[in-house]
Amino acid sequence: MIAFAYHRAARGDAWAALVAAISDALADLEAAELRVARQARLISWGYARGQTGADTISMIACPDRPLHALSDPEIGEAIV
């Protein structure tokens, strides 16, 4: 079905359909790799700041420091 959709979108030009499918696949792969890299940075940042998601452990380790959320403004997610 996917191959047929690309072939139809390329108006029967098999080479153009193949090039379009490969281009889309590479773009999707790059986007997935960027998401993984961002998640890895968030996880590393959270561990470096002692914010692993376990509030009680953070409270025991650093009782004088208030708990707060770390965020990545690029993707708008927060780690608590």
Query: Does the structure show a pLDDT above 70 at 69?
Result: no
Q: What is the structure's pLDDT at 48?
A: 63
Residue 3 has pLDDT above 80, yes or no: yes
Handedness of CA 73, 78, 79, 80 (dihedral sign): positive
pLDDT in tens, 6-58: 999 999 999 999 999 999 999 999 999 999 998 888 877 666 666 555 554 44
Q: What is the dihedral of CA 45, 36, 34, 7, to 10 degrees?
A: -170
Q: Which two tokens stand for residue 78?
A: 């927060």
The reported pLDDT for the residue numbered 20 is 97
Q: Are 79 and 46 in contact (CB under 8 A)?
A: yes
Output the pLDDT for position 7.
96
